[in-house]
Amino acid sequence: MTSRTAHPADAPHLLLISGIGGHAPGQALDSLSRISRAVSVVHLSAWGDPGPVREDWAARGLDGEFLTAPGLDEAVTAGTALHARRPVAGVVTYSELLLRPQAELAWRLGLPGNSPEAVAVAQSKSRQRQVFAEHGVPSPRFTVLDGENDLARAVREIGLPAVFKPSLGAGSQSVRLVRTLGELRAAYRDGRATVSAFLQKEDVFLLEERMALEADGDSGWAAYCSVESLLAAGERHHLVVSDRLALRNGYAEEGTSMPSRLDPDVQAAAVDCADRAIAAIGLTTGAVHTEVALTPDGPRVIEVNARAGGPMPVMFLASAGYDYARQIGRSALGLAPDAVPEFGRAAVQRMVPIPEGQWRVTAQTPKEEVLAAFPELVYLAPRFAPGLPVSRDRTLHLATFLVTGETPDGARALAGRVERALGIELVETGVPPAVAPAA
């Protein structure tokens, strides 16, 4: 444990739960320290060495304690003990995988936060679907798969083609379009065998009605969007609608753009749909990221996530100068937002998918060269160096990066040029090299 003891009585004591995924801990600490210098951390060590995050926290000179915990239950225990030493005023996380201890801790300490039950529903796609059906929220037809014996029944109920997905999952991992019972059986077995990053477990899968999400005509955009919301002090604030790049590699996400280029009426309908879904689940606090399909029959909720979409805090900063992560921290204290985003530029986050199969990276332009060539790049994160093996077993993407432009279409075109400049070349076993597809 690392600690500092001096603390002004009027500074609210914030606790950040970190360890994997979501907004980077260093950036999160910067945002939270703009609310209070009293920031403690409980870092889960299950996914790796906490040392770099501990050093990052210490370098900021924050007033609080840095604690580690091996798992979700231990994080709740550590936070409860910290509260006994020095009362915590708000509990924050930016990670899907850490929502459960955040909710349990806030609930136990009587602090602002989503109830553990609401978070359990938000993290379970099967329970979401059931809640939506009960409340009349538009969403795709579905059936739950508890075992392999359910597959034939599911096909009869939903029809084919259909979408297979894990009930507990993130980042489109194991989500597949299946066209035959054989494909469904293979997807189910692969899904059962896939090692999840979640420490909790829900061994349940869904078969859902297929919605044509991949493309909105030949526009280059997908036929779905997301609504980025902030829940605070009893109010639901819907901040922006974000668009998606067309899907060309199954259901692997290709990228996000904000603000939306959609017609205002379409955006308003998506926001209304998201608002109804959030209310049905019972979420009350923090960030919410709701994905909405844009179908010929109107918007339908794909899923509700009780946290900020992965790149959203950085995208808000890049396109609107809006510190979304800070506002999430204020929400954890029971405070209403004190600012709204005002967009001056468009931001596009591009996620370069890994093709199906087993590959090896044979070439890639050095990161520094690409950054120097494109000053519009906010960040660039290649995930594999030349020579490394590549597959979708652990991640769906070769690289991610963020650019800004004057318009969504302009930023999307720039992202295509950056992707080509990355120069990523792949070779499949026994197959000549192939250049990774550009946007």
Q: Please give the full DSSP string across 170-217, using - where no structure is assigned.
A: -TTTT-EEE-SHHHHHHHHHHHHHSPPS-SS----EEEEE----S-ST
Residue type, 406: E
Q: How far apart are the first and last CA of the chain?
A: 47
- Does some domain include residue 82? yes
Which pLDDT score is estimated for 119? 96
What are the pLDDT tens digits along the chain (439 aa)? 665 544 444 689 999 999 988 899 999 999 999 999 999 999 999 889 999 999 999 999 999 999 999 999 999 999 999 999 999 999 999 999 999 999 999 999 999 999 999 999 999 999 999 999 999 999 999 999 989 999 999 999 999 999 999 887 665 667 889 999 999 999 999 888 876 665 556 678 999 999 999 999 999 999 999 999 999 988 999 999 999 999 998 888 999 999 999 999 999 999 999 999 999 999 999 999 999 999 999 999 999 999 998 899 999 999 999 999 999 999 999 999 999 999 999 999 999 999 988 999 999 999 999 999 999 999 999 999 999 999 887 788 999 999 999 999 999 999 999 999 999 999 996 554 444 444 4
> 106 and 124: one domain?
no
Distance CA 413, CA 220 (A): 10
Which pLDDT score is estimated for 394? 76
Whole-Å CA distances, 115 to 77, 282, 306: 18, 8, 11
Which pLDDT score is estimated for 258? 98
Total domains present in the chain: 4
Collapsing DSSP to helix, strand or coil, 234 comes out as coil
Answer whether 281's CB lies under 8 Å from 115's CB: no
* Residue ranges making up the domain that contains 182: 141-209
> 224 and 127: one domain?
yes
Which pLDDT score is estimated for 8? 46
> 360 and 412: one domain?
yes
Residue 50 burial by CB count (10 A; 0-12/13-18/19+): exposed, middle or buried?
Answer: buried
Distance CA 263, CA 414 (A): 23
> 366 and 420: one domain?
yes
Residue 156 burial by CB count (10 A; 0-12/13-18/19+): exposed, middle or buried?
Answer: exposed
Whole-Å CA distances, 92 to 65, 89, 307, 437: 15, 10, 10, 38
> 256 and 331: one domain?
yes
Collapsing DSSP to helix, strand or coil, 53 comes out as helix
Q: Which two tokens stand for residue 422?
A: 């990355």
> 281 and 240: one domain?
yes
CA angle (115, 120, 121) in 5-degree steps: 100
Looking at residue 261, what DSSP letter applies? Answer: -
CATH number at residue 287: 3.30.470.20
Distance CA 31, CA 115 (A): 24
Q: Which two tokens stand for residue 367?
A: 């990161």
Which pLDDT score is estimated for 252? 85
Q: Which of 312, 344, 376 is the last residue of a domain?
A: 344
- Does some domain include residue 4? no
> 121 and 261: one domain?
yes
> 340 and 353: one domain?
no
Which pLDDT score is estimated for 231? 98
Distance CA 411, CA 414 (A): 5
The number of C-alpha atoms within 13 Å of 210 and in the hemisphere containing its C-beta is 15
Residue 276 burial by CB count (10 A; 0-12/13-18/19+): exposed, middle or buried?
Answer: middle
Q: Which of 209, 239, 265 is the last residue of a domain?
A: 209
> 312 and 381: one domain?
no
